[in-house]
């Protein structure tokens, strides 16, 4: 048997609920691999899982992405071999560990030119930016020069989106909670920034766009930004709500959407897009291409030992972090 250390929770709760335990791992079954991690990604969805916003069967592991080396391959797995460098953003949860047995479907080879830290930090956030900017689109799609609004533009997903939007020729309007974070978003490729603590977001969006509003808003903040997001949209615009960092969005009166200009609302998830190995590989290939080509930079700004996972979560919840963070194993 192979041993591993893993973070576990017995019930939903605060950061102190997480405990590091020793586990025994068996051999991978059909369609599975065993991977030895070098780094594990930190994401806000991990807090939703830990706190119970997104309920999990208990007891449970935590974490959705990591990078490392394939140790064993189960029957029927043809795209990975023992010794391959690999990375993933995948269900089931449980990436906060030194090693694990898991489905191979969403695990992909990591290019040699991309480090394990970068690989662990880029998969969930980078693939999220990919499906938002390339697949979650308003009527008629997005054309060169179009304005989009992206909340939390200095976060891990946001900075990648700023890079990618610039590469696509889009004018991204980013929001952030400090002048320092606004400057980071500008440096990453945002065309305009709004400090939401000092400025009226919807009013500034109208000013920037000559009164028209944006075709699409990408909103991971949730309750605090919901009304401003709707008020920033042009007629027939799309609000893509993909997170709840400030709390769950309350029920929506459909009449509000008609009154504000026949608006569209969607609540997409990454894992719907990663449902098959083929779609996962295609999305990862596109992400790797823009990272290797230099259009997208992955900023790993926070590093914690696996044993300090509670502090990592506290920092995420306090919104004091920028870019991406990883747990090192």
pLDDT in tens, 157-203: 999 999 999 999 999 999 999 999 999 999 999 999 999 999 999 99
pLDDT tens-place string over residues 201-213: 999 999 999 999 9
The SS3 of residue 134 is: helix
Contact predicate 137/130, CB 8 Å: no
Residue 36 has pLDDT above 80, yes or no: yes
d(C-alpha 35, C-alpha 30), whole Å = 15
From residue 125, alpha-carbon distances to 142, 220, 223 in Å are 21, 12, 21
d(C-alpha 198, C-alpha 156), whole Å = 22
- Average pLDDT score, the chain: 95
The 8-class DSSP code of residue 46 comes to H
Exposed / middle / buried, residue 219 (Cβ in 10 Å: 0-12, 13-18, 19+)? buried
Q: Which CATH number does 2-124+271-328 carry?
A: 3.90.180.10
The per-residue pLDDT for 82 is 98
The per-residue pLDDT for 243 is 87
Share of the chain above pLDDT 70, in %: 100
> Looking at per-residue confidence, does 51 or 247 come out higher?
51
**∠ CA(35), CA(74), CA(37), 5° rounding?**
0
Q: How sure is the predictor about 46, in pLDDT bands with cuts at 50, 70 and 90?
A: very high
Q: Compute, in degrees rounded to 10, the torsion defined by CA atoms 90, 105, 126, 222.
A: -40
Exposed / middle / buried, residue 99 (Cβ in 10 Å: 0-12, 13-18, 19+)? buried
- Tell me what the mean pLDDT of segment 111-121 comes to: 97
User: Which runs of consecutive H residues, i.e. helices, occur in 59-200?
Assistant: 116-135, 156-168, 179-188
The per-residue pLDDT for 144 is 97
CATH architecture of 137-267: 3-Layer(aba) Sandwich (3.40)
In the chain, what are the domain boundaries?
2-124+271-328, 137-267
The per-residue pLDDT for 60 is 96
d(C-alpha 266, C-alpha 136), whole Å = 9
- Tell me what the mean pLDDT of segment 107-121 comes to: 97
The per-residue pLDDT for 96 is 98
Q: Which residue, 324, 326, 328, is CA-closest to 160?
A: 324
- Tell me what the mean pLDDT of segment 73-94 comes to: 96
Residue 322 has pLDDT above 80, yes or no: no
Distance of CA 93 to the CA centre of its chain: 14
> Looking at per-residue confidence, does 261 or 322 come out higher?
261
Contact predicate 299/323, CB 8 Å: yes
The 8-class DSSP code of residue 299 comes to -
d(C-alpha 131, C-alpha 329), whole Å = 29
d(C-alpha 322, C-alpha 76), whole Å = 40
């Amino acid at each position: 048997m192979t041993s591993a250390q893993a973070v576990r929770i017995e019930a939903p709760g605060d950061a102190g609920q997480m405990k590091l335990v020793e586990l025994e791992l068996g051999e991978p079954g059909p369609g599975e691999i065993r991977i030895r991690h070098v780094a594990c990604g930190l994401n806000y969805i991990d807090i939703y899982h830990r706190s119970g916003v997104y309920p999990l069967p208990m007891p449970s592991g935590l974490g959705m992405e990591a990078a490392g080396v394939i140790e064993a391959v189960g029957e029927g797995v043809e795209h990975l071999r023992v010794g391959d460098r690999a990375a993933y953003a995948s269900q089931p949860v449980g990436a906060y560990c030194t090693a694990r047995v898991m489905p191979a479907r969403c695990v992909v080879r990591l290019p040699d030119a991309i480090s394990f830290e970068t690989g662990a930090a880029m998969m969930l956030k980078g693939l999220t930016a990919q499906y938002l900017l390339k697949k979650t689109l308003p009527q008629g799609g997005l054309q060169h020069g179009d304005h989009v609004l992206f909340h939390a533009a200095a976060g891990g997903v946001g900075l990648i989106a700023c890079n990618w939007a610039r590469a696509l020729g889009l004018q991204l309007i980013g929001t952030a909670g400090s002048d320092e974070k606004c400057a980071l978003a500008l440096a990453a490729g945002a065309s305009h920034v709004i400090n939401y603590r000092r400025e009226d977001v919807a009013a500034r969006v109208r000013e920037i766009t000559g009164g028209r509003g944006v075709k699409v808003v990408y909103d991971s903040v949730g309750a605090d930004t919901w009304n401003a997001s709707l008020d920033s949209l042009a007629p027939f615009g799309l609000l893509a709500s993909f997170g709840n960092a400030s709390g769950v969005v309350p029920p929506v009166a459909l009449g509000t959407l008609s009154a504000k200009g026949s608006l569209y609302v969607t609540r997409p998830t990454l894992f719907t897009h990663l449902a098959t190995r083929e779609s996962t590989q295609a999305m990862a290939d596109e992400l790797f291409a823009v990272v290797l080509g230099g259009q997208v930079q992955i900023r790993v700004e926070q590093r914690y030992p696996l044993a300090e996972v509670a502090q990592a979560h506290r920092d995420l919840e306090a919104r004091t972090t920028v870019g991406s963070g990883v747990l090192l194993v």
